[in-house]
Amino acid sequence: MDTGETTIGEYLIRRLYENGIGHIFGIPGDYVLTFFKQLEQSRIKIINTCDEQGAGFAADAYARVTGLGAACITYAVGGLKIANTTAQAYAEESPVVIISGAPGVRERIGDPMLHHKVKTFDTQFKVFEQLTVAATSLENPDTACHEISRVLGAAKCYRRPVYIELPRDMALRKIVPVVEPVLPPDMDTKPLAEAVSDAAGMINSSRQPVIVAGVELMRYGLESQVLRFAERTNIPIASSILSKSVVDERHPLYLGVYQGGMSHENVRQYVETSDCVVFLGMFMTDINLGVFTAHLDQGLSIFSTSEKTSIRYHTYNAVYLNSFLHGLSKADILRKEPPSIPHAAAKKDFIAQHGKPITIERVLELLESSLDGSNFVIADTGDALFSTADIIIPRAAEYMSSAYYASMGFSVPASLAVQLARPDLRPIVMVGDGAFQMTGMELATAARYKLNPIVLVLNNYGYGTERPMLDGSFNDVSIWQYSRIPQIFDAGKGFNIHTEEEFANAMAEARDYKDGFCILDIHLDPKGISPALKRLAGALGKRVTS
What per-residue confidence (pLDDT) applies to 251?
Answer: 94
DSSP code of residue 297: -
Averaged pLDDT, 325-329: 96
Q: Quick one: average pLDDT of 123-128?
A: 98
| Run of H or E including 56 | helix 52-66
Is the distance from CB of 106 to CB of 139 less than 8 angstroms?
A: no
Can 189-330 and 360-534 be said to share one CATH topology? yes
Measured CA distances, 256 to 26, 250, 341, 464, 506 (Å): 37, 10, 10, 25, 29
In the chain, where the domains are located: 6-175, 189-330, 360-534
User: Given this model, what pLDDT does residue 350 score?
Assistant: 85
Tell whether the model's pLDDT for residue 183 goes beyond 80: no
**Domain 360-534 falls in which CATH fold?**
Rossmann fold (3.40.50)
CATH code of the domain occupying 189-330: 3.40.50.1220
d(CA 20, CA 23): 9
pTM (global) more than 0.85:
yes
Buried b (16+ CB within 10 A) or exposed e, 32-49: bebbbebbeebebeebeb
Confidence category of residue 1, pLDDT binned at 50, 70, 90: very low
CATH number of 6-175: 3.40.50.970
pLDDT bin (cut points 50, 70, 90) of residue 180 is low
- If we measure between CA atoms, which residue out of 387, 365, 539, 404 comes closest to residue 460? 387
Strands (E), 408-507: 426-432, 454-459, 493-497
Q: What is the DSSP letter of 133?
A: S
- Does residue 199 have a pLDDT over 90? yes
pLDDT tens across 416-438, in order? Answer: 999 999 999 999 999 999 999 99
